[in-house]
A and B are shown apart, each in its own frame.
Chain A
Amino acid sequence: GQNIDQPTEMTATEGAIVQINCTYQTSGFNGLFWYQQHAGEAPTFLSYNVLDGLEEKGRFSSFLSRSKGYSYLLLKELQMKDSASYLCAVMDSNYQLIWGAGTKLIIKP
């Protein structure tokens, strides 16, 4: 079967760095996405990785290792507004998105 695993909840301190991991097992691979979702709102796109390595975009970076079926989202200089759920999703061989359950990130002052 297809499976996406990520931690349910994480807590970090304002100004610090946090890494949210995602492991996946899917039938085929056409890219991995990270989305941010604030409570009561729709998900918004953060990043896309299809090749191995690190993609940096401001305070956010995303890493992919296809051989390990592993990705992480790195958030630097955390701000209170970063408190949200972070969803990992993999596009399979049918170009369907398989969604993880999301990681709820709590930022403390």
Chain B
Amino acid sequence: SAVISQKPSRDICQRGTSLTIQCQVDSQVTMMFWYRQQPGQSLTLIATANQGSEATYESGFVIDKFPISRPNLTFSTLTVSNMSPEDSSIYLCSVVSGREGISSYNEQFFGPGTRLTVL
């Protein structure tokens, strides 16, 4: 299993500013994911961050707005740039870790999330 921590846990920010969210994992993982979850909705994948390469962004998300760093196999950051109230959401870091056994598969673990409110 993987244990994930995120900083900050919550923040209230002014329109036009930027916030960087940190994600730390207790083990080395190849793939890290950044999700957004708006109130009452399911998870929306923002991007996949692999160490040593550029992040891969999903449709509707661009690097200028959500720059991502992945300096090593245990850490990543997501920046929400030039924020607007529409960016108010929970941002979740997630990793995939292999689970061996009778039925081996990759389980996805989530960090506790960062609750962002933009005024």
Q: Which residues of chain A have a CB within 8 Å of any CB of chain B?
A: 31, 33, 40-45, 48, 50-51, 87, 89, 91, 95-97, 99-102
CB distance from A88 to the nearest CB of B (A): 9
Q: Determine the chain A residues whose CB is within 8 A of the CB of B105 once the complex forms.
A: 31, 48, 50
Q: Tell me if B45 is interfacial: C-beta within 8 Å of chain A.
A: yes
What CA separation (Å) do A51 and B112 show in the bound complex?
30
- A64 to B105 Cα, complex, angstroms: 16
Q: Is there a chain A Cβ closer than 8 Å to B92's Cβ?
A: yes
Main secondary structure of the interface of A (DSSP, over half): loop
Cross-chain contact A48 with B107 (CB below 8 angstroms): yes
Number of residues in B with C-beta < 8 Å to the partner? Answer: 18
Query: Which residues of chain B have C-beta atoms less than 8 A from A51's C-beta?
Result: 103
CB atoms of A95 and B106 under 8 A apart: yes
Write the chain A residue with the least CB distance to B107.
Answer: A45
Selected from B92, B108, B112, the residue in CB contact (under 8 A) with A97 is B108
Q: Is the beta-carbon distance between B45 and A96 smaller than 8 angstroms?
A: yes
B42 A102 Cβ-Cβ under 8 A: yes
Chain B residues 93-119 with CB under 8 Å of chain A are 103, 105-113, 115
A102 to B35, CA, bound (A): 15
- Highest count of chain B CB atoms <10 Å: which of A41, A43, A45: A43
Known interface pairs A42-B112, A42-B113; A87-B42 also in contact (CB < 8 Å):
yes
B62 proximity list for chain A (CB < 8 A): none
The answer to whether B42 and A99 touch across the interface, beta carbons within 8 angstroms, is yes
B42 touches A42 (CB 8 A): no
Question: 6 A-B pairs, CB-CB below 8 angstroms?
Answer: A31-B105, A41-B113, A43-B43, A43-B110, A48-B105, A96-B45
With both chains docked as a complex, state the minimum distance between the C-beta of A51 and any C-beta of chain B, in angstroms. 8
Q: Which residues of A contact B92 (CB under 8 A)?
A: 42-43
Taking A42-B111, A42-B113 as known contacts, 4 extra A-B pairs with beta carbons closer than 8 A to each other, sorted by chain A number, are A31-B105, A48-B107, A101-B42, A102-B41
